[in-house]
Structure 1
């Protein structure tokens, strides 16, 4: 049945967009993203890390020029990631590098 197919494909897409301070280098951002990608590889139920700088031809990022996406199999898997000490440390680095701290970060979690 169609609902079984949908249920089998169900996941949470975690989207994080950041406005970085002008003095935050692309190398620093890439290093944070590489550590996040490595963390995702360690966790079951987390996969598909993709991150980087926007290359949108629309150019309506409104300052959110960098972002990343991670897919989770369940809300419990997202919770495990959110509570992981490495995530907390990397999240603190993102906040420190973002314009206005936490105000320079957007997080969306989409069910699909």
Structure 2
């Protein structure tokens, strides 16, 4: 992961297991969103469901985006006990998961 300061996005793509109920998914999303109140380097959280018409989602159904001020903030988030506890709840409910961290770049014309 490229180090240094500057906004970093943490993207998690998820496919929930077939036996995970909509209510369980809602509770997991609320738990994920609540991390921003407990983990200082986590500045924002957004999520959504796949709505693509291209059918290239490879089974992933949900996107979770967290914003951090630096890559060091992501490292602190990953090591945080509240995150670890939540991950132990979320990950067993996922059939597939993909995580990407990136620094947004704006193209100026």
TM bin, normalised by shorter chain, reads 0.7 to 0.9
Match of 1:79 among 75, 79, 83: 75
- How well do the aligned residues superpose, as a CA RMSD in angstroms? 1.9
- Structure 2 residue 63 is the aligned partner of structure 1 residue 67: yes
TM-score (norm. length: structure 2): 0.80
Which of the two has greater strand per residue? 2
Say how many residue pairs are matched: 101
TM-score by length of 1: 0.78
- Specify the alignment match of 1:17 in structure 2: 13
Q: Which structure's residues are more often helix, by fraction?
A: 1
Ranges in structure 2 where 5+ consecutive residues have no aligned partner: 105-109
State the SS of the aligned residue for 2:78: helix
Between 1:12-21 and 1:33-42, the stretch displaced more is 33-42
Tell me by how many angstroms 1:59 deviates.
2.8
